[in-house]
Chain A
Amino acid sequence: DTEVTQTPKHLVMGMTNKKSLKCEQHMGHRAMYWYKQKAKKPPELMFVYSYEKLSINESVPSRFSPECPNSSLLNLHLHALQPEDSALYLCASSQDEDRVVSGNTIYFGEGSWLTVV
């Protein structure tokens, strides 16, 4: 079982709604990530937080707003989304951000299925 917990598992929202996705890990990891995955496609990186600071934004539209309140929590605030934003949103964590190597690999949560209507 994954030690990265995501809520909610399913979310349906209108294009004018404001909602948030939440992620929590208790492995002491200091790097946390948001990935987006469309059906039958691989996950794509959106944001990386390292030691609670945003270090990578992969040119994600501003209608997605990440937040890292502390080292265990990561939120993704959603506002004015489009139907094409419907996807599985995956949170992940690793020991730290510095170098993907054995022992510092990235572990994923089960994801939040988002449908924008």
Chain B
Amino acid sequence: GESVGLHLPTLSVQEGDNSIINCAYSNSASDYFIWYKQESGKGPQFIIDIRSNMDKRQGQRVTVLLNKTVKHLSLQIAATQPGDSAVYFCAEANSGGYNKLIFGAGTRLAVHP
């Protein structure tokens, strides 16, 4: 999850559709992953997390999928709502060390009525 570039990639979806936000992480030693949602002018809000011994974890309207083989993480949001519009960050950590989160670059989700 290295941060790159000056422009956030944007995913535009229609209200009611499902959204899939992707994240590639770089450290093969990372074994814990979190998705955060950040609305404009606010701090990051915890959505869901997953440990490396799992491939999938479900929450309320959200699912996180982890593919360790290709170092890829995704966040699926079911029945996307206007309130889901925000920037979504994946974050990775290595549980063997201190409590350090490394954030990905972020994806802006724009939900259209």
Asked if B89 is an interface residue, CB under 8 A from chain A, the answer is yes
A97 with B99: CB separation less than 8 A:
yes
Find chain A residues with CB under 8 A from B94 CB: 100
Query: Which of A2, A33, A101, A109 interacts with B32 by CB under 8 Å?
Result: A101
> Known interface pairs A99-B95, A110-B42. Does A41 touch B3 (Cβ–Cβ under 8 Å)?
yes
Binding site for A on B (CB under 8 A): 1, 3, 6-8, 32, 34, 36, 41-46, 49, 51, 89, 93-101, 103-106
A104 lies within 8 A of chain B by Cβ? yes
A-B contact count (CB 8 A): 79
CB contact between B99 and one of A40, A41, A44, A104 (< 8 Å): that residue: A104
Question: Could you tell me the dominant secondary structure of chain A's interface residues?
Answer: loop
- What residues on A are CB-neighbors of B42 within 8 Å? 110-111
Interface string of A33-76 (1 = CB under 8 A from B): 10000001111110010000001100000000000000000000
How many residues from A make CB contacts under 8 Å with B?
Answer: 31
- Residue A21 at the chain B interface, CB threshold 8 Å: no
Given A101-B51, A101-B95, do A45 and B46 touch, yes or no (CB 8 Å)? no
Dominant secondary structure at the B interface: loop
Which residues of A pack against B, CB within 8 Å?
A: 2, 4, 6, 31, 33, 40-45, 48, 55-56, 90, 94, 96-102, 104-111
Q: How far is the CB of B24 from chain A (nearest CB, A)?
A: 14
CB-CB nearest 10 A-B residue pairs:
A42-B103, A100-B93, A108-B43, A99-B95, A110-B43, A108-B44, A97-B99, A111-B43, A42-B3, A100-B99
Q: Which of B7, B45, B104 contacts A2 (CB under 8 A)? A: B45
**Measured between alpha carbons, how far is A97 from B43 in the docked complex, in Å?**
20
Q: Which residues of A contact B43 (CB under 8 A)?
A: 2, 4, 6, 90, 108-111
Docked Cα-Cα span, A57 to B98, in Å, equals 12
- Within the assembled complex, what's the spacing in Å between the Cα atoms of A101 and B45? 16
Alpha-carbon gap, A67 to B40, bound state (A)? 28
